[in-house]
Every structure is written in C-alpha cells, then in structure tokens.
Amino acid sequence: YNCKLQLFDTKDQVPEAQSLGYNAAIRSSNLVVGPIFPEDMHAFADILSGPPKLIVSPLSPASPSNIKNPNLVTVATPLVYHAKGAADYINEHYKPKKVFILKSGFSDENNYITPFKKQIDSVGKGKIKVVAEVIQRGQLNGLIPQLSATEENVFLVPSTNQGFLLVTLHSLDSLSKNYKVVVFGHPNWRKFAYLKTDLLSDLKTHITSTSHVDWKDAAIAAFARDYRRAYRTEPNYYAIMGYDEGMYFGGLLTGGTDIKTLDKADFTGILNKYHFIKRPGVGWINTHVNVLQYDNFELKKAE
C-alpha cells in the first residue's frame, strides 16, 4: 500500500515526545498506532492534542474502559467478549439446563464470570441455571447430586491460578470416569505449559481466542516463507498479527474508506478476524473470538 509511515520510539518519554514536536507529526497523520502497553497508551492518549485521530492499541486486550478515549481502536479482543463468546457457543452447541462455574475465590475471576453469566442468561432466555461454587482442594462431591447422568455437564473454570487448576482439573478428570464432562477455560490457558494437552483433550476442553495460528495453512506458510527470506528469522505470533493489522488499516487508508466507520468494515486476515463495534467514550472494539478445542493432543478450531 502507498501509505506514509512515520515511526517514533517514545518508550517512557511521552512528555518529552510531545516537546520534541511529535504532536505536530501526529496532527498531519490519519492514524496513530501504539504505544504497545496499556499504561503507555493511557499516558499517550492523555497528552495527545490537536484534531482527534484514531489511536490503535495493536496488541493489548486490556479493557478500553481503563483508557476512556473515544478515538481508541482496540484490536485484540478484550476479556469480556471472550466470556460472551463462550456463553454463545455453550448455548448454541450444548443447550444445557445447567452450567457449573468452578471458582478459586480470587476476585479477578469476576472479570470473566460477570459478563458470562449476563450473556448466558440473555441467550438462554433465563432457562439455563448457573451454579457457581468456590472449590477447595478439588472437592467436587457437593456438585454430584446436581449432575446429569445422561447429558453433557458443562463446567466453566475461569481461573488462571496454577495450583487451583492442577488440582481442580485432576478432580474433573476423575469425575469424567462416571459423567460426561465438557470444560470451558480462560483464554490464557493456551500459554500455560503446565496444562497437559492429553488431560485437556480428555476433558473436551474449550477456550476462546482472538486468533489461531495454523502453520499448515497455505497463507500462513507463504507469509512465513517470505518473512524468513526478508528477515532471516522465523515469524512469531506478533509478526503475523502486525501483518494483518497493516493489511487492514492500510487497505482502509488507501481504499477511500472512512476509517471512522470501522464498525462497517469487517476483515479476515491470515491470523485474525476483525468485527468492530463502537461504544461511546471508549472507541472501537474488536469483538471477534474463535472457539478452540483440545482434541487428540492438539488445539483446533471447534467444529
């Protein structure tokens, strides 16, 4: 694309960047990408002056309500939409009478639980009972009288605590010997090497993800080949994510599309899909999630 690209490395020097005239360059731009980290983005948005410009948060799924800028574009889907995506999938594919939420007791889990419960109640029209219990030392016996002996029992485990997960998933594995068990976990689980894929496969574990790298896919293989030729190194997840973002925003800038109508411009890249909504006061948010399942020792897109 024939787009002008100007790079600035502000690091921790946002005020100094302003004094050096970065705002003058930004005022002549159509789009500002970054900073990368939420704290820097917050500081940058606070000092940015001049006519409103779209500010892209390129990698972080941090809630845009923490930055509160109406021109912010959050590309990495925030946690609340992962919770909603899981609720939608559970309702559509399992239509359960109950969903069991296994809590560790840490308050940060409510960032997932609250939007999940709201969405499951909405899409299930109040017919899906949510049973939320704090589980200690993996003790699930108190839930057994409420389990179905014939249908799938759906368990949501929103924790990211290693000790809790190891004990609780082991207990669910024992439970699965006598009951049909399906587990939905936190999107960060894919980063945890201590979670064994054989156990997750046995529990029919699902997680949500903004993206999924299928290295066997022809488009990703071609990108990797070109990247390797250009940079003499293997592309990582962020390289592919950056490529998709460049294709999307570059296409908007050169195609005559009003970049302030992102909610009308969906996109499918080689890694990501973008479906933006606009929310007052916090800008545009990508709400697309994939549902992935551990199957035969691999993490695949769920059917």
Q: What is the pLDDT of residues 113-165, one digit of tens each?
A: 999 999 999 999 999 999 999 999 999 999 999 999 999 999 999 999 999 99
**pLDDT level of residue 41 (50, 70, 90 thresholds):** confident
Nearest-angstrom CA–CA distance, 103 and 136: 9
N-to-C CA span, the chain: 35
Query: What pLDDT, on a 0 to 100 scale, did the predictor assign at position 31?
Result: 84
Question: Can you spell out the DSSP letters for 28-68?
Answer: T-SEEE--SSHHHHHHHHHH--SS--EEEE-S----GGGT-
Nearest-angstrom CA–CA distance, 62 and 211: 16
Q: Is 147 helix (H, G, I), strand (E, B) or coil?
A: coil
Nearest-angstrom CA–CA distance, 284 and 55: 10
Query: What pLDDT, on a 0 to 100 scale, did the predictor assign at position 46?
Result: 77
In terms of pLDDT, which residue wins out, 211 or 70?
70
**DSSP one-letter code for 99:** E
Mean of the per-residue pLDDT values of the chain: 88
Q: What average pLDDT does this structure show over 211-221?
A: 83
Query: For 269-288, how does the pLDDT look when each residue is reduced to its tens digit (9 = 90+)?
Result: 988 899 999 999 999 999 99
Q: What average pLDDT does this structure show over 72-82?
A: 95
Q: What is the pTM of this model?
A: 0.88
Cα separations (Å) of 197 from 82, 142, 193, 202, 203?
21, 27, 9, 8, 10
